[in-house]
Chain A
């Protein structure tokens, strides 16, 4: 009985112990990440999260790297998003971090701010070919360039033209539409289609949309390491969520909750039951394959009815980082340099991790892209002149905001709290998570 009860403590304490054990070697800087040897050969571990397509192209790129430098061998560690961060956290605690890590914006400060990532600028990574603003998104005030952009992203509205056609509704002009137009269009679609089909999915509690929303109100998600928005703006977003639901533009709460938990190809949007949703631009290709007849990519609406005020921004869809405890940082740097700066690597990777920030690579791969790939590339090019200021990097603890927003959204939609209470809660809970 004793062991049963303590099974839980066991699961917890195991990494704890490993952490204590790791204090010694790490503190003195004696890493044991990869094995280096006298003749310059090295074996490095490369970890990423992804999907079957990405696993395949990463394996191919590792194969191609052999031709560049066959003294460096790569051990590949693919993973799934959900388990990836738990694993990385425990590995890091145990002093067993992979040498090269695929990083996400939410966790840069978490790891980089605690000195777990190498400063790539100091290590001498060449970033001269990168588009303006695409390198800074990996810089921390305290850690420097701890992560290099592996691909650019922007927030998009995806349209399923088949549903529009079925409803006999025109696709609006995305350079002039407003949030009211969005609701009106969606309501029309819901009314002109059979029951069980809606104009839009419940997009308000999606973090990407939240960020666009607050930016259009002249604020942002984060400011100076704290929440960058006030309760009024939070409330207005949650009121918008309620409006989507009450007007019939989108489905009711329980359907939305279920929709949000589906895998990409099983959502209401992918199965043709809603006409509009939001997504990141590197998910355009996957959606285009999932939706019969393909998708149309549009800008999000704006409050003023002008795309210049849409306040979009380029987000790094993901990054490459090098562990600060890597035994062989020079070799790891070579690999990262190959991944982001080599057109050969770019041709293998395509735009699956987002559109390359390196302009030379982008140019080299453009002729070979598929039509679906081009949807994303064209969109990024189209919005370039309309971008707003770059947002602050998610501070430590900010990774939790996605859940905070989701919960507040659910509570409002199920009628447990008012949008006012929800807006206040967004600010309070985020502030608590960041402290």
Chain B
């Protein structure tokens, strides 16, 4: 809020001044911004425009693109594997994100109790977030949840013999990837921790005096005051989750299998573009994803009016 406020003030003060000498400091600023600006234009904006154009073409990467109008979109409507990949991705986002955020919030609350060695624990819990998207962890995951993996070995010790391979079974493969996602709760946890610090102690003190239990303090004070942070995390994590690629790619060995049970949208897009030389279709898919994420974010912002509480 305050940043926007300052900006508005700056703009309005400029207007009042009505000075002809416009932004004298702009040139050096532009020079300093150039590395970022060139990057933004060259590897984000322009390629996005190009991909929008390619979405209406048949482009094999090897031959020049041919304009095909809405053919890609018609194909997408009929493509059952694409629909399946949407179901897989939505399941992942709608199940994985809430679980991840709940795990992050609970740990943040625990860590916020003023324990000794907090920074150590904070680092330890943050570690999975740094590693979770990496290829190494995905490979580790595949090994752990394999038929002879660590999970089944522990299971055997506890008396569960002959457990199936979790990643190689269509009924459980997606769950293992969702679990990997939940495990990477570190970054929302850090944000929650920062948010928890912002809640004034006096509310809790007053509540204790009134005899409120810890649980009702949590639901009546912590949660309401934390809603802006929760909202921020929800938006960010939903956007992130939609773009999950590495985990699905590595855990399934790039196939999205067994029998398409881990065929994420991005993985299917990748296979279409680079495996089947159908870059036009892949571009159209990329834009559909952009639209889906935009709609989700818009819904998030709209719904936020009803549950996010700004304490100012």
Show the binding face of A for B, using Cβ within 8 Å.
1, 3-10, 12-17, 19-20, 23, 27, 82, 85-86, 89-90, 92-93, 110-111, 114-116, 253-255, 257-258, 261, 397, 399-400, 403, 406-407, 410-411, 414, 416, 433
Residues of A within 8 A of B142 (CB): 261
Pick the most buried of A4, A9, A399, A403: most chain B CB atoms within 10 A of its CB: A9
A184 to chain B, nearest CB (A): 26
Would you give the 0/1 interface string for B213-237, flagging 1 where the beta carbon is closer than 8 Å to chain A?
0000000000000000000000110
Residues of B within 8 A of A403 (CB): 255, 271, 275
Q: Bound state CA distance, A363 and B117, in angstroms?
A: 72
Query: Do B51 and A4 touch (CB < 8 A)?
Result: no
Question: B65 an interface residue at 8 Å Cβ cutoff?
Answer: yes
Show the binding face of B for A, using Cβ within 8 Å.
40, 43-44, 46-51, 54, 59-65, 142, 146-147, 164-165, 167-170, 235-236, 239-240, 243, 253-255, 257-260, 266, 269, 271, 273-277, 279, 282-283, 286-287, 289-290, 293-294, 297
A213 to chain B, nearest CB (A): 21
Residues of A within 8 A of B274 (CB): 85-86, 89-90
A413 to chain B, nearest CB (A): 9
State the total of A-B contacts with C-beta under 8 angstroms: 151
With both beta carbons as reference points, the residue of chain A lying nearest to B252 in the complex is identified as A261
Q: Which of B40, B48, B164 is A9 in contact with, Cβ under 8 Å? A: B48
Residues of B within 8 A of A410 (CB): 170, 257-259
Q: Which of A8, A86, A114 is B60 in contact with, Cβ under 8 Å? A: A114
A366 to chain B, nearest CB (A): 37
Residues of B within 8 A of A433 (CB): 276
A300 to chain B, nearest CB (A): 25
Residues of A within 8 A of B170 (CB): 410, 414, 416
Q: Which of A1, A17, A82, A86 is B46 in contact with, Cβ under 8 Å? A: A17
Contact status of A411 and B61, CB under 8 A, knowing A7-B243, A8-B266, A258-B165: no
Query: Do B61 and A93 touch (CB < 8 A)?
Result: yes
Residues of A within 8 A of B235 (CB): 1
Query: Do B168 and A9 touch (CB < 8 A)?
Result: no
Pick the most buried of B47, B283, B290: most chain A CB atoms within 10 A of its CB: B47
- Interface class of chain A by DSSP: helix
**Lowest 3 A-B CB distances belong to which pairs?**
A13-B47, A13-B51, A257-B168
Residues of A within 8 A of B266 (CB): 8
Pick the most buried of B40, B253, B297: most chain A CB atoms within 10 A of its CB: B253
Residues of A within 8 A of B289 (CB): 8
Query: Do B48 and A10 touch (CB < 8 A)?
Result: yes
With both beta carbons as reference points, the residue of chain A lying nearest to B291 in the complex is identified as A5
Q: Which of A19, A20, A27, A411 is B259 in contact with, Cβ under 8 Å? A: A411
Q: Bound state CA distance, A93 and B278, in angstroms?
A: 12
Residues of A within 8 A of B40 (CB): 3
Query: Do B47 and A9 touch (CB < 8 A)?
Result: yes
20 extra interface residue pairs, beta carbon distance < 8 Å, beyond A10-B48, A14-B47, A399-B276 = A5-B290, A5-B297, A8-B266, A8-B289, A9-B287, A9-B290, A10-B43, A12-B51, A12-B269, A12-B279, A15-B279, A16-B50, A92-B62, A114-B60, A115-B63, A116-B62, A254-B168, A255-B147, A416-B170, A416-B259
Query: Do B286 and A414 touch (CB < 8 A)?
Result: no
A314 to chain B, nearest CB (A): 27
B135 to chain A, nearest CB (A): 12
Residues of A within 8 A of B282 (CB): 12
Residues of A within 8 A of B54 (CB): 13, 16
B277 to chain A, nearest CB (A): 6
Q: Bound state CA distance, A360 and B236, in angstroms?
A: 64
Residues of A within 8 A of B167 (CB): 258
Query: Do B279 and A255 touch (CB < 8 A)?
Result: no
